[in-house]
Structure 1
Amino acid sequence: MEPIQSFRELSLPAVLRPSYHPSPLAWEDQVLYFLLLDRFSDGQEQDYLNNEGQLVTTGQTPRFQPEDAGNALTPDAEAWQQAGERFVGGTLRGLKSKIGYLKRLGISAIWISPVFKQVASQETYHGYGIQNFLEIEPRFGTQQDLIDVVETAHEHGIYVILDIILNHSGDVFAYETGQPVYASGAVFPVRGYRNAEGQPTLPFAPQAVGAWPDGAVWPSELQQPQTFTRKGKIQYWDHDPEFLEGDFESLKDIHHGYGPLDAYRPSEALLHLAEAYKYWIALADLDGFRIDTVKHMDLGATRFFSSVIREFTLAIGKENFYLIGEITGGRQRAFTTLELTGLDAALGIDDIPDKLEYLVKGYRNPAEYFSLFRNSELVQKESHSWFRNKVVTLFDDHDQVRKGPQKARFCADAMGSRQLLAVIGFNVTSLGIPCLYYGTEQAFDGHGAHDRYIRESMFGGAFGAFRSKGVHFFREDSPWFPEISKLLAVRKQEIALRRGRQYLREISGDGTHFGYPRLWGASMQSVVAWSRILHTQEVLCAFNTDVNQSQTAWVTVDNDLHTTGDVLACLYTNHPEATFTNVSVAARNGKAVQLTLPPGGFVLYKKQ
């Protein structure tokens, strides 16, 4: 397709299809997989299974072997570290070649990092520094490549959610005084738009000579000065209106409009961006958007965009196009934002990643996590209902704002890989829409206390995981991949694990004195158990926070759904030496079963 320089050239009728891939009936049935496109696949791997399950032997990059760990640190560790700050070569075609890998893992929806054209002079490999909202970043591929990825995913029963940005553009202009910080809402003078080399030599006005294609911002209507707030970067991230009006570091804040929520008046820039994202839905047959940095947008702007996208997708037959907003902060902020804006689900609620990780590691009280989902005190709705499909749950991600400067993946500590299946099991069988971060299924450790280290390359290149280079990690026979696949197959089979109510269960060591597991001192070595119940079906889930020894406990089950002597069958256990042992229901604390979990164990049980 010819490049589009102006929104006047944009024609939705020209790209509309006769029909579109239908939306899922229920998004809580899905398992998401978030990947940074630049770090996922370049399509040059060998010795992996292709989309049809056939072995590929023609690639250039061999599979990772344990002895490859650390091979990038000798002789030049600094070169490997610096490579993590640059584009390393992942592409849309590479992603297309690994759809079968994701399908066999059990993934049913992929969330792809932004794919749009970046500021040419910068290494914004993550995709959040957009320079052209209607073009694909050339290093990632073409519009046709995106269409092909979505088509291939749909053929394999996988939905596609695209990461988009409304809040800001890339670093497309320079201020007169360098990088000012927000100061009481003052508008700072601008030196000019940046040219292809990053120098602010272009006039800060539309249609600057020499701007196309790598200078300024595109399409051309966005080059109006009033597109941007021009108030300097945010210094105090919770100060209102600073966090709404300021730049996100060097990324330039876009002015969305003004007015109260119910009478919000969108800016020309917001109107244009809404048209741009409708275009991408129509062109590529996308199934949802993850909207970046919603916290930093007016509620009215978010509501406007949600309404526009909802009407458009309903008109083309996508009844449940999903809008996930990144809403950092507490539960109350997430709830308020969703209720007022029409977004479908929240991502980034700090309590969820923190408690998912550290509860499994024995450093959080279980009641604190499970209480996050008891929203009846916030809204007058049935307990456990709202968060079932209104929050995306994950424990590893590409930012880890919650950890401050000490960023690292779950598996960074010595015990992490031994508890990985427990935390994944916890994530995918408790309430919410579960999401796995790429590389988690291969126990990536993200060790290094910096953003770059939690963004390792799956395909090797110059910045591979485990401080390696030149080897890929698409290993379906790794210790974790087959087990995750089994676990996700059970989730798909059992509707209670996807849509059921959720209850933390009381436990007992002697079968007489029952109570909820809790911290005693600095850590908790215990069985943690919960039930998912739908109608007359109960699935009992449990993990052991102790990675050194087995734990045995009586675990309460629903008194009305079971009778003494009923047998619960083991649907899943992650321990290689454990047997699928049935357990009998006894009349204890109403009704209970006795479970023995191996170190770091995770199990699922259901009545026969």
Structure 2
Amino acid sequence: MHRYKHCILFLFLGLLQLNAFAQAQKLRVEPAFWWAGMKDPSLQLMLHGANISALTPVIKHEGVILKDVVKVKSPNYLFLTLDMSKAKPGKFALQLKQGNKTVHRYTYEVKQREPNSANRQGFNTSDVIYLITPDRFANGDTKNDNVKGMTEQINRYDKSGRHGGDIAGIIQHLDYIKDMGFTALWINPLLENNQTKTSYHGYSTTDYYQVDPRFGSNEQYVELSKLAKQQGIKLVMDMILNHIGSEHWWMKDLPTDDWLNYQHTYKETNHRREAIQDPYAAAYDRDLFNDGWFVPSMPDLNQRNGLLATYLIQNTLWWIEYADLGGIRMDTYSYPDPAFMSEWTRRVMEEYPNFNVVGEEWSLNPAIVAYWQRGKQNPNGYTSYLPSLMDFPIQAALTTALRDDESGWDTGWLHLYNVLATDFLYADPQNLVVFPDNHDMDRIYTQLNQDAALTKLALAYILTTRGIPQIYYGTEILMHNDQPGDHGIIRTDFQGGWPGDKVNAFTGQGLTKEQLDMQQFTKRLLNWRKTSGAVHQGKLTHYAPYKGVYVYFREQGDEKVMVILNKNEKPYELELAKFAPQLKSIKQGTDVLTGQTYNLGQPKVSLPPKAPLILELK
């Protein structure tokens, strides 16, 4: 019996030692792999493991040279800089040694890039982007609703909780997205967001290299990209470089004392974005805007830290290459360090010259938005490389124009006309992303007081004006939010995306007559837009609105489109004489929405009440 106890004790101690050894061998390496032939030959690896700063890294692989090793305050990090200019595809051992003893061994892979990867085409004016909040679109795999290790569990009855939508649900409905006529897909953040509450929205990243397992896996995200591409749909990734989630793994072991802004004392941003361009702004206000936190659960990253800056840039390039992305939407673009954002976009566009990145700068002032676009000559000398921005000024002007009456000389459509007239401020207004609404604001149908006719006018404008249109999921079926400003309701579940839903928007089952009509209207307009080079790239000429009617033309070569937006409650007789420079000898136009032909050889044309006409001119 005594001997038996000794054996048990010996076995127990042995297991403890094995477990301790296994724990000691844990090594995180980011990025986990890389590619040969990237334009920038330098690669920084972040290594994290217990007390690894005391170890010596050893790398032996053809064409890979270890140029620099950086130790930081935390003993659990090493930052390696590799010269990859002559690297050959293949695997090699990354070793961390203590003398002659190998403490850690990691198999690193240098992959071969896909053919023509550097010349990938980003989203452009020929595209229409469909915006999806993944937790609320479709639950394609109920097995990942709750995942061990993820703190927040599914609760579909909680408007701010997780509802179970996932990547599988999007994959299962790619046919619907394609048939509707969308050609690009912007999905709200899919990366791990292991926060204790309201984690569904994805904007509090806790791991930059892992898809949240409640959405799926990295491999499933790549599969989505591949299948979408086969359907002619580009994948746009939603990224956040300004802040992380308070449960990010860094927060348990920050590498340096300056990894975060206000790392030791919480300070909230003032949201005064104007301070960046304001020639009279106090430095205090500029610094607080960039360095302050959104909320205590979103630590603000200090991109002036060179190691962190390189980490974030490489993470972006990794996702573009790994997931074959067709674009990026960058959250809160103006909030991070401006010099870093300039370098970030420069590096991305240098690596992928035909790519596209759209930044979020939520200002209604076109001058503030224009400041950030590539090619803009700014008085303070700031140089940006950002190709595109979200056109918040047009969105606000559109909804104001549609809600306002036409009784005054500067009311109604004039709000929209006047904002579009400021396009001279932009270096490239054609590359702005225009939209009726998004995930952070009331649904367009709600903004327009649940008026379906006005909603059609809004969509007709967004899909025919200059720029790249973006439509939020559910707009096509008149989704609305009865409680204005409530994000949990704005991002409500898409009907038919969950087993047992009585209404199925994917098939049309159970939709109201008005919803079906809007869905068909959107589908016709989107699929026609695919064929119209004039709308994609044509010159835009608009006429000052008059008596509730706004008219503009899109022209490219012999192709001409005349858009007439009539807000009047009754039919309106539109005099055609002033449009002679565009109409010339054209005698008729066919409405792309109804197929009806209109005689343009007469002095007037009768407009249907409160409706758009989109005429192909012949």
Q: TM-score, normalised by structure 2?
A: 0.70
**Are the equivalent residues in 2 in contact too, given 1:551–1:597 (CA < 8 A)?**
yes
Q: Is structure 2 residue 34 aligned with structure 1 residue 11?
A: yes
Cα separation, 2, equivalents of 1:275 and 1:353: 33
Question: What is the distance in 1 between the residues matched to 2:193 and 2:449?
Answer: 38
Deviations 1:30-52 (A, max 9, x none): 1111111111111279xxxxxxx
Could you tell me which residue of structure 1 aligns to residue 86 of structure 2? none
Contact 1:536 1:561 in 2 (8 A): no
Taking only aligned residues, the RMSD between alpha carbons, in angstroms, comes to: 3.0
**Equivalent residue number for residue 208 of structure 1:** none
CA 1:102–1:469 in structure 2 vs 1: closer, same or farther (change >3 Å)? closer
1:95 aligns to what? 170
Residue aligning to 2:546? 517
Q: Residue 125 of structure 1 corresponds to which residue in structure 2? A: 200
* In the alignment, structure 1 residue 600 sits paired with structure 2 residue 610: yes
**Deviation of 1:537 (Å):** 3.5
Which of 558, 562, 566 matches 1:544?
Answer: 566
Residues 486 and 299 of structure 1, relative CA distance in 2, 3 Å threshold: same
- In the superposition, relative to structure 1, how do residues 417 and 560 fare at CA in structure 2: closer, same or farther (>3 Å)? closer
Distance 2:541 2:414 in 1: 10
C-alpha displacement at 1:216, in angstroms?
4.4
1:309 to 342, 348, 365: 348
Q: 1:102 to 1:333 in 2, by over 3 A?
A: same
Task: Answer yes or no: is 1:40 the counterpart of 2:69.
Answer: no
Paired residues for 1:229-378 under 5 Å: 229-230=261-262, 232-234=266-268, 236-238=270-272, 239-250=285-296, 251-257=298-304, 267-313=306-352, 319-329=353-363, 330-338=365-373, 339=376, 340-347=383-390, 349-363=391-405, 364-375=411-422, 377-378=424-425
Q: Letter of the aligned partner of 1:236 in structure 2?
A: N
- Report the AA paired with residue 107 of structure 1: F
Cα offsets for 1:439-498 (capped at 9, x unmatched): 101110122121111101115679x9xxx9664432458222222121122222221112
Tell me, yes or no, if the aligned pair for 1:15 and 1:283 is still in contact at 8 Å: no
Q: Is 2:506 the partner of 1:474? A: yes
- Could you say which residue in structure 2 is the equivalent of 1:144? 219
Q: Are the aligned partners of 1:170 and 1:252 in contact in 2 as well (CA < 8 Å)? A: yes
Structure-2 separation of matches of 1:555 and 1:267: 61
Amino acid at match of 2:590: C
The alpha-carbon distance between structure 1 residues 387 and 419, as it changes in their structure 2 partners (threshold 3 A), is same
Going from structure 1 to structure 2, the CA distance change for 1:378 and 1:419 (only over 3 Å counts) comes to closer
Cα contact 1:554–1:595 (8 A) shared by 2: yes
- Aligned positions of 1:528-567 closer than 5 A: 528-546=550-568, 548-555=569-576, 558-563=579-584, 566-567=586-587
2:588 equivalent among 568, 573, 591? 568
CA distance in 2, matches of 1:370, 1:100: 37
- Read off the aligned partner of 2:525 and give its amino acid letter: L
Change (3 A) 1:16 1:140: farther
Contact 2:138-2:494 at 8 Å conserved across structures: yes
Q: Output the CA distance in 2 between the equivalents of 1:455 and 1:233.
A: 29
Query: How far, CA to CA, are the matches of 2:337 and 2:571 in structure 1?
Result: 51
Measure, in 1, the Cα distance between the counterparts of 2:613 and 2:556.
19
Identity %: 20
Report which stretch shifted further, 435-444 or 417-426: 417-426
In structure 1, what is the Cα distance between the partners aligned to 2:478 and 2:467?
23
1:132 to partner: Cα distance: 0.6
Alpha-carbon distance in 2 for matches of 1:434, 1:377: 20
- The letter for the 2-side match of 1:124 is S
Q: Which moved more, 1:222-231 or 1:119-128?
A: 222-231
Distance 1:459 1:378, change over 3 A: closer
Amino acid at match of 1:19: P
- What amino acid maps onto 1:549 in structure 2? K
Matches within 5 A, 1:575-594: 580-586=596-602, 594=604
Residues 408 and 453 in structure 1, CA contact (< 8 A), matched pair in contact too: no
Counterpart of 1:7, as a letter, is E
Once the two structures are superposed, residues 222-272 of structure 1 have per-residue CA deviations (whole angstroms, 9 ceiling, x without a partner) of 643421112534353114221101001231100011xxxxxxxx6211211
- The letter of the residue matching 2:260 is F
Decide whether the 8 Å contact of 2:155 with 2:162 is kept in 1.
no
Tell me which of the two structures has the higher relative contact order, counting C-alpha pairs closer than 8 angstroms and 6 or more residues apart: 1
> After the TM superposition, which residues 163-202 of structure 1 pair with which residues of structure 2 at under 5 Å, given as runs?
163-172=238-247
CA distance in 2, matches of 1:556, 1:436: 35
Q: Which runs of 5+ in 2 are unaligned?
A: 1-25, 37-109, 143-153, 273-284, 377-382, 406-410, 510-515
Deviations 1:189-218 (A, max 9, x none): xxxxxxxxxxxxxxxxxxxxxxxxx75459
Which position in structure 2 is the counterpart of 1:527?
549
Residues 103 and 356 (structure 1), Cα distance of their counterparts in 2 relative to 1, 3 Å cut: same
Report the Cα distance in structure 2 between the residues aligned to 1:142 and 1:4, rounded to whole angstroms: 21
Following superposition, the deviation at residue 377 of structure 1 comes to 4.6
Q: Are 2:394 and 2:416, in contact at CA under 8 Å, matched by a contact in 1?
A: yes
* Unmatched segments (≥5 aa) in structure 1: 46-78, 173-213, 258-265, 314-318, 401-406, 507-515, 519-525, 587-592
Letter in 2 for 1:378: L
Q: Answer whether contact 2:195 2:246 (CA < 8 A) is retained.
A: no
Match of 1:434, SS state, is strand
Which of 1 and 2 has greater Rg? 2
CA–CA distance in structure 1, aligned partners of residues 559 and 184 of structure 2: 26
CA contact (8 A) 1:550 1:597 kept: yes
CA distance 1:234–1:597, change in 2 (3 Å): farther
- Give distance in 2, aligned partners of 1:497 and 1:557: 22
Query: One-letter code of the match for 2:115?
Result: S
Deviation at 1:143, TM superposition (A): 0.6
Query: Could you tell me how far apart the structure 2 residues matched to 1:129 and 1:26 are?
Result: 26
* SS state at 1:146 partner: helix
Report the 3-state secondary structure (helix = DSSP H, G, I; strand = E; otherwise coil) of the residue aligned with 2:139.
coil
Deviation at 1:155, TM superposition (A): 0.2
CA contact (8 A) 1:42 1:90 kept: yes
Quickly say closer, same or farther: Cα 1:563–1:304, change in 2 above 3 A: closer
**Compared CA separation, residues 412 and 493, structure 1 to 2 (3 A):** same
Which range moves more in the overlay, 147-156 or 269-278?
Answer: 269-278
